[in-house]
Amino acid sequence: MVKTAIDLTVEANVITRKLKASCRQISVLDRRMDILQSRFKRARNNQRNGVFNSLRIQLATLEGVREAFYIYACKKAAEKEDIFDEIRQRSSRTEE
């Protein structure tokens, strides 16, 4: 099915919203990781092994979630670029 310019614009807007939301979530996760890393270092320096291990697991989990959001954001950015390329190509064809 051939998409119209309006369909492409709507799709680009949806992808842009999703990309922005995933970037915001990555920022939230980065801040949370910073907090956990400082708690982790403090627990390690104070030799609190139970807390240390718990924080280590939380950090590993958070890093995995952040990586998943990063991969998703990269895919959405590529989709957005493809759609904008198609919109540019169509607009250049109509100008000719």
Is 76 in contact with 11 (CB distance < 8 Å)?
Answer: no
Q: Say what the pLDDT of residue 88 is.
A: 86
Alpha-carbon gap, residue 11 to 76, rounded angstroms: 11
Q: Say what the pLDDT of residue 95 is.
A: 64
Q: Say what the pLDDT of residue 7 is.
A: 87
Q: Would you list the DSSP string of 7-68?
A: HHHHHHHHHHHHHHHHHHHHHHHHHHHHHHHHHHHHHHHTT-HHHHHHHHHHHHHHHHHHHH
Kindly list the domain boundaries of the chain, sorted by start residue: 5-88
Q: Say what the pLDDT of residue 61 is.
A: 96
Which residue is associated with the tokens 């990555």? Answer: 26
Q: Say what the pLDDT of residue 96 is.
A: 61
**pLDDT digit of tens for each residue in the chain (96 aa)?**
677 878 888 999 999 999 999 999 999 999 999 999 999 999 989 988 888 899 999 999 999 999 999 999 999 999 999 999 988 888 887 766
